[in-house]
Structure 1
């Protein structure tokens, strides 16, 4: 029996910090982690090598998972990683509704094909088209503050950088690749919904990217992980029909495998892309594949396999 009073406090990770930054879309929670062998203020030991940096959209959903992965890699592989998560201050939800506009590009005509609700009607609770504003926030505000003020280690800004996004975040990752291909060395677009808004990414943005005569001194790599599709699921003998349908509803859209593999094939023939990898996690659905994709993508990035 413990006799003294216990003071319970919120759990936190060492060598992390967070702050709020704003643009015309509202407030964003920026969470930053740096290597454990640095001090608590983010100062590295003398002559330490500059880390690689991993950026995450939907950071409030994936930041702590990413930090855990990178710190295990730091322990096992002597890697150095800074993690920057860009997300939302919404303690009651994993995914904020604002990710819809923040992570999707603006259409040419301002019109959008709206997803259907469970009744087969077009949803009216969604908006899209603010990816440029979100990207500008990352590259002109967040990167400047992290690299120049928060962690002003010489050489950190110029070291390898990766971007991770899942689902709508996968749309944003591809948008970033097509519009700012020199910004990140590696783009991890997990389960990207390439057919969003009448395949705007692949029918409009990808051709423009490929046709652009801009040459890249160091072309980025692209990793496209995704989960098992609805068409791959089999109802188990002891599985109720309702349970099977619920499990099936969470699987990847039937288009995912075809779309990802077709995109990968086209990108492999593009001189602006250094390397393209795909991976299907057959036992994961559209939601659960985010964590496994993040782990595999981070490990491959830190090992410089992508």
Structure 2
């Protein structure tokens, strides 16, 4: 491995939530559905235009770290956006953004200035070392879990895309990335946050259910729930929030995400999937000191939910209003 430099608060509740069995009962019978005629997807290899890092900002400074995975197969570019505004007494809130290239591409100077006028967080964009919005092969490995002892999971339509490396990425994040990204910064370690969309949302949920002490505030957008036979819902059934730890979970999803079906569509309706997420939020909200809720992103499809959910997460963390 090589490394180179370059909210809400919660309340105690007495609710009783749904079990995984009840959540699964909301799902359609088919776990996996493919369209009869595949539609061409977006070109993820198209280079991104210059963004906030390249253009610079009046209110944020930027630094980059480059990292190679222990197996040498994935290459990361970690971009840390640091407010110029003095930190609060407890330190800055750090928020980790999966699909960091795409996340930074959705932010402009107006967003940074809005946060600067409130309580600006440190943004830690977990990107890949490419000029494109996504590295689809790398993210599919890093963001998707597998069961103990299970082999890598292969995408039948794209055999080069393997899944199942989420636990390896959690280890890398916990042992290397967080330490390097937060180095020499005044950080409020009781308010670490993470946001992810699609496979990134799945990764956030898997991390919440298996390593809940790693972050305090969790932002999940359009998660790929049906991955590996709804593994993440089985993990939810075993989930226990750490006692006397205050945290929050915001689940988000558009109500028009299945209008164009892709290889990861699960065959259900948007209402069924959103009902499922609402039931999960209700169950999580029953944990003492954990505040959980579900928000429907009205009129938005899967791609558009990325930008909107990101702005909602940053608004929640900073106290600003990002449009």
Match for residue 41 of structure 1? none
Q: 1:80 to 1:169 in 2, by over 3 A?
A: same
1:284–1:182 CA distance, 2 compared to 1 (3 A): same
Tell me the residue number matched to 1:164.
195
Q: Which ranges of structure 2 fall in alignment gaps of 5 or more residues?
A: 1-49
Tell me the distance in 1 between the aligned counterparts of 2:79 and 2:136: 16
Using the alignment, how far apart are the partners of 1:230 and 1:19 within structure 2? 34
Give the counterpart of 1:27 among 75, 86, 89.
75
State the SS of the aligned residue for 2:117: helix
Provide the rounded CA distance (Å) in 1 between the counterparts of 2:284 and 2:89: 36
Shift of 1:187: 0.3
Q: Distance in 2 between matches of 1:256 and 1:95?
A: 27
Work out whether 1:61 is the aligned partner of 2:97.
no
Pick aligned residue for 1:81 from 101, 121, 132: 121
Q: Which of 79, 84, 91 is residue 50 of structure 1 equivalent to?
A: 91
Counterpart in 2 of 1:17? Answer: 63
Moved over 4 A (4+): 66-70, 111-117, 250-253
Aligned to 2:26: none
Q: Which has the higher contact order (CA 8 A, sep 6+)?
A: 2
TM-score (ref. length: structure 2)? 0.71
Q: Which residue of 2 aligns with 1:259?
A: 276
Question: Which structure has greater helix proportion?
Answer: 1
Task: Give the CA RMSD over aligned residues.
Answer: 2.9
The alpha-carbon deviation at position 157 of structure 1 amounts to 4.8
Hey, what does 2:298 align to over in structure 1? 282
User: In the alignment, which residue of structure 2 is the partner of 1:223?
Assistant: 250
Based on CA coordinates, which of the two structures has the bigger radius of gyration? 1
Q: 1:116 to 1:285 in 2, by over 3 A?
A: farther
Contact 1:112 1:197 in 2 (8 A): no
Specify the alignment match of 2:144 in structure 1: 104
Which position in structure 2 is the counterpart of 1:124? 159
Tell me the TM-score normalised to structure 1 length.
0.74
Hey, what's the Cα distance between the residues in 1 that align with 2:81 and 2:208? 24
1:206 to partner: Cα distance: 1.4
Once the two structures are overlaid, the 10-residue window that deviates more, 18-27 or 291-300, is 18-27
